[in-house]
Structure 1
């Protein structure tokens, strides 16, 4: 978890977990780490990611991770191009189930997002998946624009979205393709 390219971010994760008094999953060592050009932002850690694997990763054993893994594969987007994060990076559920994030959580997550970006000097694009992540990123939108960071929003790759919206997979994949182009990947 402390490989050179993710060490600084995972030390930040450890400090944040202590600060919040809640689990915050490590970032995936198969990601781009501090060299990532894309920050992909989901909503909040899954129970499995927070309490089992301890990592926010497309390798997690849940349907959202699988959908995103497939989208990366099918669009030819290398995992090393990006870093996967959560708008609310600490776990808000219980041992039995996830809980919905609140607007206050989103606001606190936006502040953390700016702190994270200070560790990611190569980020050129932020890709929020879903409405909560989009609202969190919007809070810091002016700051991102001032840093020359583009925002490409997408629907969340959850199994519920994929089941209810026939276009969901296409939208997620399209956002990844646009993001890759903007990031120079």
Structure 2
């Protein structure tokens, strides 16, 4: 068993082993969901899979970011193990907040890569409108979900859609864990950590 470490999906071995897990029961329906999105989008559109090391359909918390980066497309997964600084921040902040990844699932309000091969661009209103269309289908696949964490201003645009189809879910608004924010000012990391600790406390309530 490979140790769970930041940036581990830069290893071809780790990536290949993770791919073999896409058919496991807890993740199978989410893998099918992504396959259907890929088929609808057509060839050349980069839509990474859900990470089998997360909770899959057993997840109680959905973390929504903006859009997958180039490293996520390269690894094939929306994962806190991706070899980029945002993923590393997600990994480390989640551990520090006491959130078990097996209780979570990661996704993006725009599920596909936007930008060039080397640089992602900001999501436009049209990107968000298109990206939010499959979100109700995703929520229906997560029967144990109790909360959604909206990471960044673009992810906040999903709030109305979530409230309309799953008014039972508690929403948390949080800054995006990119290095542009985390490293921009003293205290920014702590602001994210504060919210994630609230998420952790909510998940521990029964």
Matched with 2:151 is 129
C-alpha distance in structure 2 between counterparts of 1:122 and 1:79, whole Å? 14
Give the CA deviation at 1:110. 2.0
Over 3 Å off, 4+ runs:
none
1:8 aligns with 2:25: no
1:155 aligns with 2:167: no
Aligned partners of 2:98 and 2:200 also within 8 Å = no
- The Cα RMSD (Å) is 1.4
Aligned partners of 1:37 and 1:183 also within 8 Å = yes
1:178 aligns with 2:202: no
Note the 1:56-135 alignment, pairs <5 A. 56-135=78-157
Choose which of 30, 35, 50 in structure 1 pairs with 2:58: 35
Alignment size in residue pairs? 182
CA-to-aligned-CA distance 1:104-124 (integer Å, 9 cap, x gap): 211222221111011001111
C-alpha distance in structure 1 between counterparts of 2:174 and 2:185, whole Å? 13
Give the CA deviation at 1:100. 1.6
Distance 1:110 1:183, change over 3 A: farther
Give the CA deviation at 1:92. 1.2
Comparing 53-62 with 103-112, greater Cα deviation is found at 103-112
Aligned partners of 1:88 and 1:108 also within 8 Å = yes
Matched with 2:67 is 44
Give the CA deviation at 1:173. 1.4
Q: TM-score, normalising length from structure 2?
A: 0.84
C-alpha distance in structure 2 between counterparts of 1:139 and 1:118, whole Å? 13
User: Greater Rg, structure 1 or structure 2?
Assistant: 2
C-alpha distance in structure 2 between counterparts of 1:166 and 1:10, whole Å? 39
Q: TM-score, normalising length from structure 1?
A: 0.93
Aligned partners of 1:109 and 1:136 also within 8 Å = no
Matched with 1:167 is 187
The structure with the largest helix share of the pair is: 1
Matched with 1:20 is 41
